[in-house]
A and B are shown apart, each in its own frame.
Chain A
């Protein structure tokens, strides 16, 4: 399949490959999604999406990274948590409501079954903050 992955701060990543995992969470109008692709050139590409509800002082998050192993995926998902939605306004909103939302949208850091194909060394994370 061809996929176009939106990512913060830069142009979308276009790839051709196989979708290995597609995991979603939701809480009301909020959504989160984890996708892992195996590309034709034997890379693994991970996309993490968080879509907060519009009533909160939060911004959507779209991050993409290349991964060399399941551990790379786990580390990336753990690094890019739903708290990133509130990075544009660290003190905004009710902290309890924020925490509840984050827990409901948090994506699993362990993937079931097979591991994505490896690359060595892992490519740098794209779409992250400078």
Chain B
């Protein structure tokens, strides 16, 4: 996670990543809505890429030129057969961004690949599918919660150091 000094003037590591803190036009694809296009600076980013895991999340926080905040959550898959997803939201304040991060349910990102064949499945197999789906939802929530904790921790450490 790399915060920039632009966030409440509290983060001082933008020199590590030159792209942070520089105003630019960003385009954030969203699910079920038009892309979010805005001008602003990237304040912080955290990603959860881990070798051996089939997917990873990327969380990005921006400050727009009109002093609002954008939260972007992207989900990338290792397999090319899966389609990466992206979503974004705009908020008036940073605490609202943090609240949204805490409330985000990564379980909704799990694809329930239930086909029409379930109509003829025996109950035991249906139950097995349900258990598998529940495990995948729990895994996604666990994965995302760890990344959120990492992002908050790094932001807090940067604010303390400033």
Interface residues of A (CB under 8 A from B): 4, 6-12, 54-62, 84, 87-90, 92-93, 127, 129-130
Contacts and interface: CB of A to CB of B under 8 A. Distances in A.
B139 A9 contact: no
Interface string B139-156: 111111110111011001
A129 B53 contact: no
Interface of B: 48, 50-54, 98, 102, 105, 135, 138-146, 148-150, 152-153, 156-157, 160
B152 A12 contact: yes
Specify the main secondary structure of chain A where it touches its partner.
loop
Given A6-B149, A7-B149, A88-B143, 14 more contacts: A8-B146, A8-B149, A9-B149, A10-B152, A54-B50, A55-B51, A56-B52, A57-B50, A57-B52, A57-B53, A59-B53, A62-B153, A87-B138, A129-B142
A129 B138 contact: yes
Given A11-B102, A62-B146, A89-B139, A6 B153 contact: yes
B149 A92 contact: no
A90 B54 CA distance: 11
15 contacts: A6-B150, A9-B146, A9-B148, A10-B149, A12-B149, A54-B51, A55-B51, A56-B52, A61-B146, A62-B153, A87-B139, A88-B142, A89-B139, A127-B145, A129-B142
A17 to B, nearest CB: 18
Contacts of B54: 89
